[in-house]
Structure formats: C-alpha cells, structure tokens
C-alpha cells in the first residue's frame, strides 16, 4: 500500500463527483477509481463513532428489513423501525427490478487486510476487550458485522512495525535449503490473533500475499524494489510451500496466495517488481508445480494490482500451461476503471476475479468515503464479477501507526484503536455487505435507475439482499420490485441502505 494520486484529495466537492460517477455507472456499470479524499479531522471520539452498529428499535411488522447508514453518522448500520410491505400496487417511482432467477458469480466474502500492525494493536488490548472486538467483527450473531474474508501478508507489509521476511540473512549470505525459515515476528501478534478469529469463524477465507522475497533472493539485495533473481525461482517456490505448511501447523489454513503484492510498484517498504512475463514463468515452472508436488490445494491468484493493467493477468492466462495452476486474478483501484475486472472475466470466464485492496486516506471524510467505497467497491466490484471486496486495512492507531519507514503514513483502518475504538467509514461500507451477504451467496440481477446505484444477492438461506446508495443530493423515494410486487422505501441523500427479505 502506498500514497497515490494525492492531488485528488483536494477537490472541492467529492459528492458532486460521485454524482458524475453515477451517470457513468448507469451507462456502462463501471466506476472511475482512485479518488482518495481527505478532510478536516473530526473529533477523535465522537459518540456516534465509538458506538456499536445499532440494531435500532424493533421494526414494525413488514416483509423487508431496512438497515441505514447516514453520511452525517446520525444513524450507523441502524435497523429502521418502519413497516416495508410488498404490495401489488404500483407507483410512478424510480424502480429497482430484482430477478433472483438471473444469477452471476458466487460471493466468497467481504472484509479487510489483517496487517501485522492491525494484529499488534488488537493483541495489545486487554483480553476481554480483544474477544469482544473480534466477536463483533467476525461473529455471526445479530451484534456482529460478520466479516468473512481476510488478506494477510507473507512476511511484513508496509503496515508492520518493521520490514522482514521469514528467512532474512546477513548481507552476502544465502539459505537455499531454507534452513533458517521461521515465521518470526508473526508468531507474536498476527498468528495469535488469527487463531482467535478462527475460533470465532472457522470458515474464514484467508488470502496471503508477499510484499517482498528475502533480500538475498533479489537482484538488488534489498527489501525495497528489485526483482526476484531467476537463480532463486525454485527456492522461492519452496518458500511458499514452507509458509503454507507452517501456517497450517498453527491451525491457520491459507485458501489462496498471490505471488506478489502490487508487482509493478517498486517504491514501497517492502516491495518487489515482478513483470507479467516473470510472474508467468514463476507460476508455470516453479510455484504451481511446487504446490502440486506438496499436495497443497491452495489457490494461485495472479496480478494483485491496479485496474489500469488488465493486460497483465491476460498475458499470464493466455499461457495454457500456466493457466492450469491459476484460479483467477486480483485487482486494486488506485488507477484504471473497475470494468477491467469484467474485461478479464470476459476473456477467461472460467477464471475468477477478486477485489483485494483499497485504502482510505486519513483523516476520515465519513460521508464521502462511505459513498465512494459503496459505489465503487461494494457495488462496482461485485457488478464486475468480483467474488470478494477487501479494504486496506483493519486497524490503525490515532497517529496511523504502525507502519514501516517509507510505508503508508496516513492509511486509515476500518477501526482506529486508541483510548477508545473508533469505527470509521470503511467499517460501515464493508458491514453493509458482510453482515447480510455470507459466503456462498450469489449475485442476482437488479436494474439501475439513475441516482440509485445498487447490487443484489441471494443468500444460501434464500434471503434476498439489496444494497443501495443514494448518489443524489436529495432524499429519494423509490420502488423495489420483486415477483410482481413492490415495496417503497425512502433513502436520504448520500445514505446507504441494505434491504433484506425472504
């Protein structure tokens, strides 16, 4: 993760730009990326931020439950005390048509990156507070937001307290037998926190990604920049095998890996460049065969970088030998357009696509950031075939620590852990999906009236879930139409609503 496109932070009205984005969305189901907004820092511990998501008052009897988050924080994932009943009457209103027989991709989940820094902050909390927080995040009762997918780093990311890998050697020395491989610093915070999370949700999806190979394997002998030395391709594949086996021994199954985080960016600490032809060779000739020989079922997902380079995963997937080892492609949205996911999906419809990272820059501009995330990620990524949406990252301190020297200095987590725990905009963006759309859900058809971007899902229990963002500047009364009947909710300007019915 790094700071990018900082000039976009200073535009006068992000909300107006969101309206423009919505017009584009209505035309092509695409969303322009890379807006990283900041604003004056709100009070660090406003009452609305430190509260838990509200179950609200008991709603009046009705067919549809309605959960609302307001851009001014006046309501935060709050169940509305209104009776929303389907009727046969029709009204001349903007209408979202739902068709649960028209299905698209399966959803794996929604969540965050659990960085080493996030784990450190959580693990520092008193045990009872740790448990309460983790149950709120990963539990499955009515008070939890039910995160179902996490991304972790293989070795350090830039949101660790220091850069490291699992086999660091003194300058000039190598360890081709991986004799000194060790999970190291992650045994103190990341692994204990993950073990607690898996006790709460044993079905959690976990994606693991390296920011750098060990320096002695690289062309520049540094954890910053450089490329993987071809002489160590096979050793690095065995490094992945050792990692997966070591994590499994800790009771942490890794579902998928990507070979490199942001493989086209050399400036982070840590970081490593891996061009598409290099990643292709590494997967085809080394990583894929190594995982197969070790009888590991871990998925390999390629790319893990911005939407402006769909040619990167396409180049790899065009190789038939590499393709047999690959599950799909992963994307970020610091550049390009979210429709790149559909471009890659359409080229290789038997391969999956995933949305695996997007930061929020601090201080939080709650309403604008909430709207951007819901519009571009929760709606935009899933409408373009993504099986997951992951935000960067789960937790930070009030001063945006921990991070490495040169790492992201104002990455705002889903929560901020200080004297109190503050729930930020990305917490609520993810919660509006994660709480209601479990793993195994299907995206289903929903129409897109102007100003009301949305996405709909069918859960394994047969519930229908519709997530709507009011991208206009006025309150909208609209209709949800399902099987010949309609219900007419009201959604304030800039608000997000999740609607659930049987």
DSSP letters spanning 296-332: ---EEEEEEEEET-THHHHHHHTSHHHHTTEEEEEEE
> Among the options 97, 136, 262, 293, which is catalytic?
262
Clarify whether 357 is annotated catalytic: yes
User: What is the full DSSP assignment across 89-108?
Assistant: ---SS-EEEEEEEEEEEEP-
The DSSP code for 285 is I
Q: Examine the domain organization and report whether 453 and 370 are in the same domain.
A: no
* Domain closes at, from 440, 457, 486: 440
On whether residue 51 sits in a domain, the answer given is no
CATH of residue 79: 2.60.40.1180
- Reference 497, options 75, 34, 124; nearest CA is 75
Cα angle for residues 388, 279, 289 (degrees, 5° grid): 90
Extended strands (E) in 274-403: 299-307, 326-336, 352-357, 386-391, 395-396
On whether residue 48 sits in a domain, the answer given is no
pLDDT at 432: 98
HSE, side-chain direction, 13 A CA sphere, residue 234: 4
On whether residue 44 sits in a domain, the answer given is no
Q: Examine the domain organization and report whether 420 and 474 are in the same domain.
A: no
Q: Examine the domain organization and report whether 162 and 17 are in the same domain.
A: no
Q: Examine the domain organization and report whether 414 and 475 are in the same domain.
A: no
pLDDT at 388: 98
pLDDT at 91: 80
Q: Examine the domain organization and report whether 79 and 135 are in the same domain.
A: no
Rounded to whole angstroms, the Cα distance separating 199 from 99 reads: 37
* pLDDT tens sequence across 208-228: 999 999 999 999 999 999 999
Clarify whether 278 is annotated catalytic: no
On whether residue 265 sits in a domain, the answer given is yes
Residue 220: Cβ within 10 Å count:
14
pLDDT at 55: 52
> Among the options 279, 324, 357, 463, which is catalytic?
357
* Domain closes at, from 440, 467, 491: 440
Asked if 155 contacts 211 with a C-beta cutoff of 8 angstroms, the reply is: yes
pLDDT at 32: 36
On whether residue 53 sits in a domain, the answer given is no
Structure tokens at 372: 């951007």
Q: Examine the domain organization and report whether 372 and 426 are in the same domain.
A: yes
* Domain closes at, from 421, 440, 459: 440
pLDDT at 89: 85
pLDDT < 70: residue spans in the chain: 1-61
CATH of residue 204: 3.20.20.80
Element (H, E) at 429: helix 425-434
Q: State how many domains the chain has.
A: 2
Q: Examine the domain organization and report whether 476 and 396 are in the same domain.
A: no
- Show the domain range for 464: 6-33+63-104+444-501
Strand partners, 333: none
Q: Examine the domain organization and report whether 89 and 143 are in the same domain.
A: no
pTM of the complete model beyond 0.85: yes
On whether residue 392 sits in a domain, the answer given is yes
Structure tokens at 108: 């794996």
Structure tokens at 388: 């997951």
336 Cβ contact partners less than 8 Å away, ≥ 6 residues apart: 33, 34, 306, 307, 308, 309, 310
* pLDDT tens sequence across 347-377: 999 999 999 999 999 999 999 999 999 999 9
Q: Examine the domain organization and report whether 247 and 392 are in the same domain.
A: yes
Q: Examine the domain organization and report whether 134 and 29 are in the same domain.
A: no
Q: Examine the domain organization and report whether 279 and 299 are in the same domain.
A: yes
pLDDT at 377: 98
Q: What are the phi and psi torsion angles at 212 (to 5°)? A: -165, 150
């Amino acid at each position: 993760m790094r700071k990018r496109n900082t000039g976009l932070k200073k535009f006068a009205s992000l909300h107006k730009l969101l309206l423009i984005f919505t017009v584009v969305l209505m035309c092509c189901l695409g969303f322009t990326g890379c807006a990283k907004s900041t604003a004056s820092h709100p009070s660090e511990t406003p009452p609305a931020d430190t509260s838990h998501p509200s179950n609200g008052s008991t709603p009046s009897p009705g067919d549809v439950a309605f959960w609302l988050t307001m851009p001014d924080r006046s309501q935060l994932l709050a169940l509305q005390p209104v009776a929303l009943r389907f009727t046969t009457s029709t009204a001349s209103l903007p209408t979202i048509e739902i068709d649960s027989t028209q299905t698209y991709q399966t959803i794996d989940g929604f969540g965050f990156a659990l960085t080493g820094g996030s784990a450190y902050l959580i693990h520092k909390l008193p045990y009872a507070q740790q448990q309460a927080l983790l149950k709120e995040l990963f539990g499955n009762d009515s008070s939890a937001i039910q995160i179902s997918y996490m991304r972790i780093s293989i070795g350090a990311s830039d949101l660790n307290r220091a850069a490291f890998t699992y086999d660091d050697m003194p300058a000039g020395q190598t360890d081709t037998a991986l004799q000194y491989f060790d999970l190291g610093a992650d045994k103190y915070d990341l692994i204990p926190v993950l073990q607690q999370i898996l006790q709460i949700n044993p079905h959690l999806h976990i994606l693991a990604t390296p920011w750098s190979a060990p320096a002695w394997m690289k062309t520049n002998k540094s954890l910053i920049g450089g490329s993987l030395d071809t002489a160590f391709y096979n050793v690095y594949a065995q490094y992945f095998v050792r990692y997966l086996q070591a994590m499994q021994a800790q009771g942490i199954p890794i579902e998928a890996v990507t070979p490199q985080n942001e493989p086209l960016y050399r400036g982070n600490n840590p970081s490593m460049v891996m061009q598409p032809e290099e990643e292709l060779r590494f997967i085809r000739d080394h990583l894929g065969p190594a995982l197969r020989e070790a009888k590991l079922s871990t998925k390999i997902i390629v790319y893990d970088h911005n939407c402006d380079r769909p040619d990167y995963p396409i180049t790899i997937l065009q190789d038939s030998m590499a393709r047999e080892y690959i599950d799909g492609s992963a994307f970020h949205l610091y550049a390009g357009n979210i429709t790149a996911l559909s471009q890659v999906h359409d080229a290789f419809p038997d391969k999956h696509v995933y949305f695996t990272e997007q930061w929020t820059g601090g201080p939080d501009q709650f309403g604008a950031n909430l709207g951007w995330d819901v519009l571009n990620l929760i709606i935009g990524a899933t409408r373009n075939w993504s099986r997951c949406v992951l935000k960067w990252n789960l937790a930070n301190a009030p001063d945006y620590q921990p991070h490495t020297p040169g790492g992201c200095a104002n990455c705002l987590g889903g929560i901020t852990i200080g004297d109190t725990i503050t729930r930020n905009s990305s917490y609520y963006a993810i919660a509006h999906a994660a709480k209601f759309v479990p793993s195994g859900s299907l995206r289903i058809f929903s129409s897109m009236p102007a100003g009301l971007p949305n996405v709909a899902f069918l859960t394994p229990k047969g519930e229908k879930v519709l997530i709507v963002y009011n991208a206009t500047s006025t309150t909208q009364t609209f209709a949800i139409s399902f099987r010949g009947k309609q219900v007419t909710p009201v959604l304030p300007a800039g608000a997000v609503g999740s609607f659930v019915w049987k």
